[in-house]
């Protein structure tokens, strides 16, 4: 049975990095080695705690996608606000991604950050606490506080430790994300107020508000709430056309900021879409899924073409994140198990491979102090170890079969292809983005890694290959990419109960609409029964396809499994 006991592990995952961050500020000045060691130890302790949580989590599927390990402490009880934490399989995998990337990021920053190290690691640990709080929060106010708190440390990380245009990049990032988040907060607060007028009791419990919104709001009200929610989460993803802050922020951020921004922070937007948009307003999600998918596809193709003409290798990888996350949103609004499962796996895979690419680029920047592909070339001869990692993570990013990127891309496109809301047309256009992605990544590799050696004049012949520390930074990421590429089944199976819980409302909406369509067209008899059966079990698109092929329901169920 699922564990629902009062567990202190969840708040500890937030409190440990927060307290350790302030502990860094109390360390003596001029002791950078002590500061770095303390920060690394702090992130390793949090990672160990998250592993303990994984080991205690009920992966058997007996829990119907509901959160486990509840922790509830009073906050503003008169208004129904509490420190309420819980974790399901989706949020747990994203917590694991966060706690896994943080030690890697801290270790990778040892040589990059030499000035104001205390401030750097303070903000990095506070950022970890806020991101983890977003994934664990079961109270709306707590979620919003953690969601907005992520802006502050990243603002300082970019504004203080970034490169040339860092101040404008930090301001643009802050303004874009804060403005969108305020609109989202207004939407969810309206739901809480509406619920309070019905029950005479304020509650900010996310499952309670989700149940109320999905069952009590009219279609028009759901559409307005959808717009409010998308305003904040689409900026955070980011989704076209509100993506323009991301390439600038990535390019100007320090390496650690880029790794965390790509690896975890962007996932706060996609997680918000999963946790709020789809379950809270299922009717509007079904209605407007094709519109959202169109914006996702535009982002996939538009930013892929922009990548093709970049000379700054870091800016190329930054724009590629917009393209990759377009696939993530496309699979999510397929509104079926395959698409959403692929979308969550895509979040994890993107965090690993793109985070690793930013680390590789940061290592080159430390050596040559340039990211211009016109000044770099043939590094495979000069830096063979670095080039091996670079080629590996680029191939993972473009979705080479056997590596992690392939599984997520395949499932998101398959989910869109078999979706009751989208279809093959969306899949065909989005698939062009895969071809463009392979072109710009391989073109970049050809210029930087292959060909004759080209180095900036001041550094020609003076640069050494990766150190033992840098190899230790990249190796865990490479291993994770291989494991998820070869055997993603345990992750996908663990996600199914949570996905069923999230898509319960959209499933009912699709079933009702298919029934209305059947009655409207007078579809009776065998064809009508098959259509009704396909939509009544639309949790699994594979089962729908099997039924439409004329297979028995039992056979269809086995295929879906």
Q: Grade residue 470 by pLDDT with cuts at 50, 70 and 90.
A: very high
Task: Specify the higher pLDDT residue, 444 or 58.
Answer: 444
User: How far apart (Å, rounded) are the C-alpha atoms in residues 533 and 560?
Assistant: 14
The one-character DSSP state at 28 is P
pLDDT at 101 over 90: yes
User: How far apart (Å, rounded) are the C-alpha atoms in residues 324 and 399?
Assistant: 11
Q: What are 345-359's pLDDT values in tens digits? A: 999 999 999 999 999
| Residue reference for tokens 């919003």 | 144
Rounded to whole angstroms, what are the CA distances from 480 to 55, 208, 209, 401, 410? 18, 36, 36, 15, 18
pLDDT for res 72: 81
pLDDT for res 521: 52
Q: Please state, rounded to an integer, the average pLDDT across all residues of the chain.
A: 84
Task: Specify the higher pLDDT residue, 17 or 504.
Answer: 17
pLDDT for res 233: 92
Structure-token pair, residue 230: 């998308």
Q: What are 372-383's pLDDT values in tens digits? A: 898 888 898 889
User: How far apart (Å, rounded) are the C-alpha atoms in residues 120 and 12?
Assistant: 22
pLDDT at 2 over 80: no
User: How far apart (Å, rounded) are the C-alpha atoms in residues 261 and 253?
Assistant: 9
Q: Per-residue pLDDT averaged across 13-32, rounded?
A: 88
pLDDT at 529 over 70: no
Task: From 281, 222, 288, 350, select the one nearest 502 (Cα to Cα).
Answer: 281
∠ CA 109-36-480, rounded to 5°: 50
Q: Grade residue 65 by pLDDT with cuts at 50, 70 and 90.
A: low
340, 499 Cβ separation under 8 angstroms: yes
Among 98, 130, 149, the domain-final residue is 149
Residue by residue, what is the 3-state secondary structure of 452-511? CCECCHHHCCCCCCCCHHHHHHHHHHHHHHHHHHHCCHHHHHHHHHHHHHHCHHHHHHHH
User: How far apart (Å, rounded) are the C-alpha atoms in residues 375 and 383?
Assistant: 15
Q: Is residue 60 one of the residues assigned to a domain?
A: yes
Q: Where are the alpha helices (DSSP H) in 57-88?
A: none
Q: Per-residue pLDDT averaged across 424-428, rounded?
A: 91
pLDDT for res 61: 60
**Cα dihedral 112, 115, 116, 118 sign:** positive
Task: From 321, 254, 250, 324, select the one nearest 105 (Cα to Cα).
Answer: 254
Q: Per-residue pLDDT averaged across 215-240, rounded?
A: 90
Burial status of residue 240 (CB atoms within 10 A of its CB: 0-12, 13-18, 19 or more)? buried
Q: Hey, which residues does 71 pair with through a beta bridge? A: 85
User: How far apart (Å, rounded) are the C-alpha atoms in residues 118 and 104?
Assistant: 18
Greatest mean pLDDT among 202-206, 322-326, 550-554 lies in 322-326
pLDDT for res 218: 87
The percent of residues in the chain predicted with pLDDT above 90, rounded, is: 43
User: How far apart (Å, rounded) are the C-alpha atoms in residues 46 and 535?
Assistant: 43
pLDDT for res 392: 95
Ramachandran bin of 149, using left for φ above 0, alpha for ψ from -120 to 50, beta for the remaining angles: alpha
Q: Grade residue 520 by pLDDT with cuts at 50, 70 and 90.
A: low
Among 149, 181, 199, the domain-final residue is 149
319, 360 Cβ separation under 8 angstroms: no
pLDDT at 273 over 60: yes
Structure-token pair, residue 61: 């599927």
Structure-token pair, residue 418: 């078999």
pLDDT at 476 over 90: yes
- Which of 3-7, 40-44, 155-159 has the weakest average pLDDT? 3-7
432-459 per-residue burial string, b: 16 or more CB within 10 A, e: under 16: ebbebbbebbeebbebbbeeeebbeeee
Q: What are 25-64's pLDDT values in tens digits? A: 888 877 788 889 999 999 999 999 999 988 888 877 655 5
Q: Grade residue 497 by pLDDT with cuts at 50, 70 and 90.
A: confident
Q: Grade residue 518 by pLDDT with cuts at 50, 70 and 90.
A: low
> Which residue range(s) make up the domain with 126?
1-73+88-149
Q: Is residue 514 one of the residues assigned to a domain?
A: yes
Task: From 21, 8, 81, 43, select the one nearest 476 (Cα to Cα).
Answer: 43
∠ CA 492-94-285, rounded to 5°: 75
- Which of 129-133, 184-188, 453-457, 489-493 has the weakest average pLDDT? 453-457
Task: From 180, 176, 175, 189, select the one nearest 141 (Cα to Cα).
Answer: 189
Task: From 370, 395, 335, select the one nearest 454 (Cα to Cα).
Answer: 370
Q: Grade residue 384 by pLDDT with cuts at 50, 70 and 90.
A: very high
pLDDT for res 536: 33
Q: Is residue 49 one of the residues assigned to a domain?
A: yes
427, 417 Cβ separation under 8 angstroms: yes
Q: Is residue 535 one of the residues assigned to a domain?
A: yes
Task: From 532, 489, 327, 500, select the one nearest 414 (Cα to Cα).
Answer: 327
Q: Per-residue pLDDT averaged across 52-81, rounded?
A: 76
| Residue reference for tokens 């990759």 | 324
The percent of residues in the chain predicted with pLDDT above 70, rounded, is: 89
Q: Is residue 50 one of the residues assigned to a domain?
A: yes
DSSP count for the chain of H helices, then E strands = 26, 2
Q: Is residue 54 one of the residues assigned to a domain?
A: yes
User: How far apart (Å, rounded) are the C-alpha atoms in residues 256 and 250?
Assistant: 10
pLDDT for res 308: 87
- Which of 91-105, 212-226, 367-381, 513-527 has the weakest average pLDDT? 513-527
Q: Is residue 104 one of the residues assigned to a domain?
A: yes
pLDDT for res 519: 57
Task: From 367, 376, 552, 340, select the one nearest 451 (Cα to Cα).
Answer: 376
- Beta strand 81-87 with 68-76: parallel, antiparallel or unpaired? antiparallel
Q: Is residue 376 one of the residues assigned to a domain?
A: no
Q: How large is the angle between the packed helices 140-149 and 117-136, nearest 10 degrees?
A: 150
Contact residues for 512 (Cβ-Cβ < 8 A; gap 6+): none
User: How big is the chain by its Cα radius of gyration, in Å?
Assistant: 23
User: How far apart (Å, rounded) are the C-alpha atoms in residues 139 and 209?
Assistant: 10
pLDDT at 531 over 50: no
**Cα dihedral 40, 41, 42, 46 sign:** positive
User: How far apart (Å, rounded) are the C-alpha atoms in residues 285 and 293?
Assistant: 11
Q: What are 291-315's pLDDT values in tens digits? A: 999 999 999 999 999 988 888 899 9
- Which of 65-69, 98-102, 497-501 has the weakest average pLDDT? 65-69
DSSP three-state, residue 383:
coil
pLDDT for res 127: 94
Q: Where are the alpha helices (DSSP H) in 309-403?
A: 313-332, 337-368, 379-382, 384-398
DSSP three-state, residue 103:
helix
Q: Per-residue pLDDT averaged across 153-168, rounded?
A: 87
pLDDT for res 351: 92
User: How far apart (Å, rounded) are the C-alpha atoms in residues 203 and 141?
Assistant: 10
Cis peptide before 22 (omega within 30 of 0): no
pLDDT at 504 over 50: yes
Look at the chain and report how many structural domains it folds into. Answer: 2
Considering only the C-alpha atoms of the chain, give the largest distance between any 2 of them, rounded to a whole number of Å: 81
pLDDT at 548 over 60: no
pLDDT at 556 over 50: no
Among 134, 149, 164, the domain-final residue is 149
∠ CA 522-526-529, rounded to 5°: 75
């Amino acid at each position: 049975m699922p564990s629902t006991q009062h567990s202190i592990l969840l708040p500890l995952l937030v409190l440990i990095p927060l307290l350790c961050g302030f502990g860094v500020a109390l360390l003596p000045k001029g002791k950078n080695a002590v500061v770095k060691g303390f920060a690394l130890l702090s992130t390793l302790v949090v990672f160990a705690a998250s592993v303990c949580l994984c080991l205690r989590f009920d992966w058997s599927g007996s829990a119907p996608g509901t959160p486990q390990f509840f922790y509830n402490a009073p906050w503003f009880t008169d208004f129904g606000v509490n420190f309420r934490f819980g974790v399901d399989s989706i949020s747990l995998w994203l917590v694991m991604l966060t706690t896994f990337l943080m030690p890697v990021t801290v270790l990778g920053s040892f040589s990059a950050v030499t000035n104001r190290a205390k401030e750097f690691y303070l903000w990095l640990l506070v950022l970890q606490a806020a991101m983890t709080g977003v994934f664990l929060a079961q109270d709306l106010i707590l979620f919003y506080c953690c969601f907005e708190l992520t802006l502050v440390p990243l603002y300082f990380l970019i504004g203080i430790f970034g490169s040339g245009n860092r101040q404008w990049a930090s301001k643009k990032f802050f303004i874009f994300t804060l403005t969108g988040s305020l609109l989202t907060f207004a939407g969810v607060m309206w739901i809480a107020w509406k619920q309070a007028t019905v029950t005479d009791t304020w509650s900010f419990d996310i499952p309670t508000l989700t149940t109320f919104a999905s069952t009590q709001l009219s279609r028009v009200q759901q559409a307005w709430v959808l717009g409010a929610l998308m305003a904040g989460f689409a900026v955070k993803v980011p989704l076209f056309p509100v993506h323009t802050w991301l390439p600038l922020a990535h390019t100007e951020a320090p390496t650690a900021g880029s790794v965390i921004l790509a690896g975890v922070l962007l996932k706060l937007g996609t997680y918000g879409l999963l946790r709020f948009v789809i379950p809270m307003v299922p009717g509007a999600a079904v209605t407007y899924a094709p519109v959202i998918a169109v914006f996702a596809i535009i982002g996939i193709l538009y930013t892929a073409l922009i990548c093709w003409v970049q000379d700054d290798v870091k800016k190329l990888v930054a724009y590629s994140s917009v393209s990759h996350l377009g696939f993530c949103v496309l699979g999510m609004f397929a509104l079926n198990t395959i698409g959403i499962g692929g979308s969550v796996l895509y979040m994890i895979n993107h965090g690993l491979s793109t985070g690793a690419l930013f680390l590789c680029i940061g290592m080159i920047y430390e050596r040559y102090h340039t990211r211009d592909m016109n000044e770099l070339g043939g590094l495979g001869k000069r830096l063979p170890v670095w080039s091996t990692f670079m080629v590996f993570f680029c191939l993972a990013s473009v979705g080479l079969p056997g590596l992690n990127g392939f599984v997520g891309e395949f499932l998101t496109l398959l989910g869109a292809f078999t979706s009751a809301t989208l279809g093959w047309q969306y899949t065909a256009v989005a698939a062009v983005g895969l071809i463009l992605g392979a072109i710009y990544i391989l073109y970049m590799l050809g210029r930087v890694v292959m060909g004759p050696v080209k180095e900036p004049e001041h550094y020609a012949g003076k640069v050494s290959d990766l150190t033992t520390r840098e190899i230790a930074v990249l190796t865990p990421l490479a291993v994770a990419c291989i494991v998820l590429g070869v055997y993603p089944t345990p992750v996908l199976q663990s996600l199914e109960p949570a996905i069923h819980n999230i898509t319960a409302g959209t499933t009912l909406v699709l079933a009702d609409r298919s029934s209305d369509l059947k009655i409207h067209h007078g579809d009776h008899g065998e064809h009508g029964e098959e259509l009704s059966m396909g939509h009544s079990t639309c949790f699994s698109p594979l089962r729908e396809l099997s039924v439409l092929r004329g297979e028995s329901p039992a056979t269809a169920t086995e295929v879906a499994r």
